[in-house]
Structure 1
Amino acid sequence: MYDSVLIPTDGSEMVDTTLEHGLRIARDHDATVHALYVVDSRVARAAEDAREDVEASLHAEGEKATEHVRARAEDAGVETVCEIRTGTPQKEIVEYTEEAGIDLIAIGTHGKSPREKLLSMGSVTERVVDSAPVPVLVVRD
């Protein structure tokens, strides 16, 4: 049923909770885990004069974040593919899902209240759920 599970990571502690669920599903289905970090191009553009430094810093953060997922997956005996992309996170997550033939996305959320959601622009997780071509497992913090 699931041959490939995508676990997007932003390097936060939330990914550990998401990994508990995503790795269990991957292990149970003998699936490959895909760890994806997206360097948010909007953040780099906003940095103007320091754009290259910000991009390099974010890319280094992405390497650390995807390596964390790889290490946890290896400990669980799950094959892993790591990818770092640059762009808008929700768009890159959906595009990667389509390109890599992902069967399930396991993604974390910080569990905002309805009021907090109204005040925000909308989370990456919500936008992925709205546009993903595959099932999405949302793991609350």
Structure 2
Amino acid sequence: MYDEILLPVDGSPASEQAIPHVFGFAEMYGATVHVLFVADTEHDGVGGIVGGEVLTRLENEGQKLVDGIVNRAHERDIDAVGVVEKGSPHEAILEYATDHDIDVIVMATHGRTGIERVLLGSVTERIVRKASVPVLTVREAT
């Protein structure tokens, strides 16, 4: 059913909580896990004013995060690959899913409500609305 599973991560406790679900699916279906970190270049200072130094640091931190999750998968004999992209997170996730024939996307939701959700938006919400494959959301435990 699921051969290719996409796990977008951002280093938050919420995204950490999605990992056991992904590993469980991967073990159940013999799937490959694609761990994706997107260095968000949409915010001022990352891609603009401060530019290269901040973006490089963000990409390096993302690579450490991705490598750690991939290593944890390999310790459980799960096929896994890790990728760091830069750009708009929701656009990069959707593009990656299409380009790599992803069967399901599993990602965290931070549980923002009210004005915080309106002002900050939600990458997960955009993925749920626009993805052409199923999306499993894992809510951050409080």
- 1:116 deviates by 4.4
Q: Where does residue 14 of structure 2 map in the other structure?
A: 14
**Partner SS for 1:108:** strand
Check whether the contact 1:32–1:80 (CA below 8 A) recurs between aligned residues: yes
Offset of residue 120 of structure 1: 2.7
Q: CA deviation at 1:119?
A: 3.6
Which residue number corresponds to residue 69 of structure 2?
69
Hey, what's the Cα distance between the residues in 2 that align with 1:119 and 1:127?
Answer: 12
TM-aligned CA deviation for residue 14 of structure 1: 2.0
Q: How does 1:1-141 map to 2 (within 5 A)?
A: 1-43=1-43, 44-46=46-48, 48=49, 50-113=50-113, 115-116=114-115, 119-141=118-140
Amino acid at match of 1:140: R
CA distance 1:118–1:14, shift in 2 (3 Å): closer
Contact 1:3 1:29 in 2 (8 A): yes
Question: Secondary structure of the residue that 2:81 maps to in structure 1?
Answer: strand
Quote the Cα distance in structure 2 between the aligned partners of 1:119 and 1:8.
Answer: 22
CA RMSD of aligned residues (A): 1.4
Over 4 Å off, 4+ runs: none
Question: Would you say how many aligned residue pairs link Structure 1 and Structure 2?
Answer: 138
Query: 1:74 offset after TM fit, Å?
Result: 1.5
| Cα deviation code 1:119-138 (max 9, x no counterpart) | 43421000111111100000
Check whether the contact 2:37–2:85 (CA below 8 A) recurs between aligned residues: yes
Give the TM-score normalised by the residue count of structure 2. 0.91
Give the drift of 1:117.
5.6
Which residue type is aligned with residue 105 of structure 2?
Answer: I
Could you tell me which amino acid in structure 2 is paired with residue 133 of structure 1? S
- What is the distance in 1 between the residues matched to 2:133 and 2:118? 28
Q: Secondary structure at the match of 1:95?
A: helix
Identity of aligned residues (%): 36
Q: What do residues 14-72 of structure 1 show as CA deviations (whole Å, max 9, x unaligned)?
A: 222100111101110000000001111123124x1x21100111111110110121022
Contact persistence 1:34–1:80 (CA under 8 A): yes
Against the structure 1 CA distance between its residues 14 and 75, is the aligned structure 2 distance closer, same or farther, given a 3 Å change threshold? farther
Question: Hey, which of these two has a bigger chunk of helix by percent?
Answer: 1
